[in-house]
Chain A
Amino acid sequence: AQTVTQSQPEMSVQEAETVTLSCTYDTSESNYYLFWYKQPPSRQMILVIRQEAYKQQNATENRFSVNFQKAAKSFSLKISDSQLGDTAMYFCAFIPLNYGGSQGNLIFGKGTKLSVKP
Chain B
Amino acid sequence: KAGVTQTPRYLIKTRGQQVTLSCSPISGHRSVSWYQQTPGQGLQFLFEYFSETQRNKGNFPGRFSGRQFSNSRSEMNVSTLELGDSALYLCASSPGQALTDTQYFGPGTRLTVL
Residues of A within 8 A of B (CB): 33, 37, 43-47, 50, 91, 93, 95, 97, 103-111
Report the contact-size class of chain B (Cβ under 8 Å from the partner).
20 to 34
11 contacts between A and B (CB under 8 A): A43-B107, A44-B106, A44-B107, A44-B108, A45-B92, A46-B104, A91-B43, A103-B99, A106-B99, A110-B42, A111-B43
Measured between alpha carbons, how far is A43 from B58 in the docked complex, in Å? 25
Residues of B within 8 A of A (CB): 3-4, 33, 35, 42-45, 48, 55-56, 58, 90, 92, 98-100, 102-108
Measured between alpha carbons, how far is A99 from B101 in the docked complex, in Å? 19
Contact (A95, B105) CB under 8 Å given A105-B45, A107-B45: no
Contact (A45, B45) CB under 8 Å given A95-B100, A105-B56: no
Measured between alpha carbons, how far is A47 from B99 in the docked complex, in Å? 13
Contacts of B56 in A (CB 8 A): 103-105
Q: Are A111's CB and B42's CB within 8 A?
A: yes
Contact (A106, B33) CB under 8 Å given A46-B105, A47-B103, A95-B100: yes
Contacts of A95 in B (CB 8 A): 99-100
Contact (A50, B42) CB under 8 Å given A45-B90, A105-B56: no
Specify which of B44, B58, B99 lies most central, judged by the most chain A CB atoms within 10 Å of its CB: B99
Contact (A103, B103) CB under 8 Å given A44-B3, A45-B90, A91-B43: no
Contacts of A45 in B (CB 8 A): 90, 92, 105
B4 (CB) vs chain A CBs: closest residue: A44
Contact (A109, B42) CB under 8 Å given A45-B90, A50-B102, A95-B99: yes
Contact (A47, B42) CB under 8 Å given A103-B56, A105-B56, A105-B58: no
Contacts of A108 in B (CB 8 A): 35, 42-45
Specify which of B35, B42, B48, B92 lies most central, judged by the most chain A CB atoms within 10 Å of its CB: B42
